Amino acid sequence: MSESAIDNFDAATRRQALEQAAATETFPAAQPIVNVHAHTFFSYNYRGYSPSHFALESKRQALAVSGIVEFDCLDGLDEFLAAGRLLDLKTSIGLESRVYVPEFGDREINSPGEPGISYHMGIGFTSTDIPEEAQTYMDGLRTTSADRNRGLVDRVNAHLDPVALDYEADVLPLTPSGNATERHICVAYGRKAAAQFPEEEALARFWADKLGVEVDQVADLPDGRALTDLLRSKTMKSGGVGYVQPDSGSFPHMPDMNRFTLLCGAIPTLTWLDGCSAGEKAIDELTDVAMASGVAAFNVIPDRNYTPGSPDIKLVKLQEVVAMTERRGLPLIGGTEMNSPGQKFVDDFDSDALYPLRTVFLKGAHILYAHTVLQGMAGMGYLSDWAANSFADVFAKNDFFNAFGEAFSPRGEDRLRDGLSSERGPDEILELARSAVA
């Protein structure tokens, strides 16, 4: 199989490459490792992975559950679910965006330098056929993002003259469905500058001058991590020439995104950075605010929260926030994102830092997969009426969804579908799941 074919922007080419790999490769048995928060090339993956490629690599690396999360879109949903069925891989789909939290309008949360602004998620989406109100909301996300990107490029172009991007010609071709991010823009600037300054010494001098640093601080030319991170921080983040400080009207409010997520049958999810901001130091208060409008799960990026071999305050805060989610019965999900060069494909769950937390992340992933199956097949997901009427409390619900997600896999979907009914109780559903894959 051609690795380039599975990342081709043509969907039929990707599907053919995946089918070839599925038919010719032998895959290892699943291990207790998960990544249910990885971006694909629909919203920037630094390796250029398509949903099919991320699914295939998940199978190759023996992930127990694999999930993608796209920014402001669900473009990878159908492809990723189909890849999971082909590979017998447990899968999930999420959407990430930014929201405003009025109750924290004077406190930084998890978007550095931007009080009141929070990265926020919905997880467990099962279809792109969503209610009209939800589609209008998502269309608005993409339109606002594109307008924001174009304004950003105009401001940065003025500063980087004579290097200037044409948004349509230079940026949009880097992503298959026009859902560009700041990282696409940075890569485009790196390539544009290299075309105008083909000599590396001249290119380094250009960037040093425009970004206000010494030449020896310019590295990874023309478009590697060091250069693009430097460009992003100097021009697109707080204090940069392209930056515009967001306010209460820049992004939807958190309850709006939660409503959108619920309309789609998915699970509103609070995200967490590292516990060091004023907002995240008040994590119980923030969680109360989020849960009041529908949040029912919690997302962590484990790799950001410890230094291997060197215990520090971030690891302590990670342990504390995991304990908080356990007390509240909030399923905990995590992954490595893969939207910045150098990030791992999957966290090291054998490390001293993460091994004690392995079962919590595995349980959250199983719950998410079980929701995806039951919601997609019969509207019996984690926040469904069926679930609300079937369990005494959230802990009993979590135990059921974890057991289902652990026992079931895509190869049993046809058999399960034949017997699935909201008239059945949890014990019957669990027995069906187990017999479907027996």
pLDDT at 303: 80
pLDDT recorded at residue 304: 76
Q: In this predicted structure, what is the pLDDT of residue 310?
A: 60
Instruction: Kindly state the tokens that stand for 199.
Output: 């000599």
Distances (CA, A) of 361 to 60, 66, 335: 20, 12, 9
Q: b or e along 123-158 (b: 16 or more beta carbons within 10 Å of the residue's beta carbon)?
A: bbbbeeebeeebeebbeebbebbbeebeebbebbbe
pLDDT at 14: 97
The backbone region for 294, taken as left when phi is positive above 0, alpha when psi lies in -120 to 50, beta otherwise, is left
Task: Answer yes or no: are the C-beta atoms of 248 and 102 closer than 8 Å.
Answer: yes
Say what the pTM is.
0.95
Per-residue pLDDT of the chain in tens (438 residues, 90 and over written 9)? 677 899 999 999 999 999 999 999 999 999 999 999 999 999 999 999 999 999 999 999 999 999 999 999 999 999 999 999 999 999 999 999 999 999 999 999 999 889 999 999 999 999 999 999 999 999 999 999 999 999 999 999 999 999 999 999 999 999 999 999 999 999 999 999 999 999 999 999 999 999 999 999 999 999 999 999 999 999 999 889 999 988 878 899 999 999 999 999 999 999 999 999 999 999 999 999 999 999 999 999 988 777 666 667 888 899 999 999 999 999 999 999 999 888 999 999 999 889 999 999 999 999 999 999 999 999 999 999 999 999 999 999 999 999 999 999 999 999 999 999 999 999 999 999 999 999
- pLDDT at residue 308 in the model: 63
**Token pair belonging to 6:** 């599975």
| C-alpha to C-alpha distance for 145 and 143, rounded to whole angstroms | 5
Q: What are the structural domains, with CATH classification, of the chain?
A: 5-130+264-376 (3.20.20.140), 140-235 (no CATH)
Distance, first Cα to last Cα, the chain: 31
Strand partners, 35: 66
Cα of 290 vs its chain's centroid, Å = 19
The pLDDT, as a whole number, for residue 311 is 63
Helical spans, DSSP H, in 172-271:
182-196, 200-211, 225-235, 254-263
Please, where are the H alpha helices in 299-357? 313-328
